[in-house]
């Protein structure tokens, strides 16, 4: 067994003597880590589940925004997420229609006696079309363990970001 006095760490061990002039290169440690990235710089891995956390920065791809909004809308309707979390991505009319849909679902759950829950879900196919410049309409299929629902979204470009002007959960 090696005592603490006899043990030397690899980082502090002197380099072996070599022939020639005593020159050493720049000191580099193999265990140095790259600089930490802030939350806004973090990239996401390609997973089937897209969460509302991806809505923090304005995505340039309207299809990914549509999928994120569809999942968020389903979580809101199921009672697993607050509506205010995605309010900045909705117009007043889309916000009001989603609030109405949430209250109808909540009343339905209370009548049956089931609790709101946050169940795993993922996006299926997303179909989009552009009826005119600056407008994209689409439908995203959202799959849960028990059922599949369609979420219809109309995105309009306002400045440099996309805003959902219509949102319906079928």
- What does the pLDDT look like over 105-155, one tens digit per residue? 999 888 888 877 778 999 999 999 999 999 999 999 999 998 999 999 999
**CA nearest neighbour of 116 among 125, 105, 124:** 105
What's residue 117's pLDDT? 73
Q: What are phi and psi of 79, to 5 degrees?
A: 90, 10
- pLDDT at 104 > cutoff 90: yes
- Asked: is 60-169 a CATH 1.10.760.10 domain? The reply is no
Predicted TM-score of the model (pTM): 0.64
What's residue 119's pLDDT? 84
Taking CB atoms within 8 Å and a gap of at least 24, the contacts of 48-57 are 48/122, 48/123, 49/120, 49/121, 49/122, 49/123, 50/122, 50/123, 52/81, 52/85, 52/86, 55/85, 55/86, 55/89
Helical (H) or strand (E) element with 131? strand 121-132
Q: How many CB atoms lie within 10 A of CB 159?
A: 7
Between CA 67 and CA 91 the distance in angstroms is: 17
Rg (CA), the chain: 26
- Look up residue 63 and give its two tokens: 């299809």
Q: Which of 21-25, 117-121, 159-163 has the lowest mean pLDDT?
A: 21-25
């Amino acid at each position: 067994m090696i005592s603490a006095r006899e043990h030397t760490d690899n980082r502090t061990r002197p380099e072996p003597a070599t022939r020639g002039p005593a020159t050493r290169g720049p000191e580099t440690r193999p265990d140095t880590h790259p600089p930490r990235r802030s939350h806004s710089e973090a990239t996401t891995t390609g997973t089937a589940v897209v969460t509302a956390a991806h809505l923090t920065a304005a995505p340039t791809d309207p299809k990914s925004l549509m999928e994120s909004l569809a999942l968020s809308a389903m979580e809101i309707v199921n009672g697993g997420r607050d509506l205010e979390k995605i309010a900045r991505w909705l117009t007043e009319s889309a916000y009001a229609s989603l609030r109405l849909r949430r209250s109808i679902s909540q009343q339905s759950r209370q009548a049956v006696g089931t609790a709101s829950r946050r169940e795993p879900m993922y996006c299926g196919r997303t179909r989009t079309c552009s009826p005119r410049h600056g407008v994209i309409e689409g439908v995203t299929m959202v799959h849960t363990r028990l059922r599949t629902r369609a979420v219809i979204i109309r995105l309009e470009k306002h400045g440099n970001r996309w805003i959902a002007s219509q949102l319906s959960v079928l």
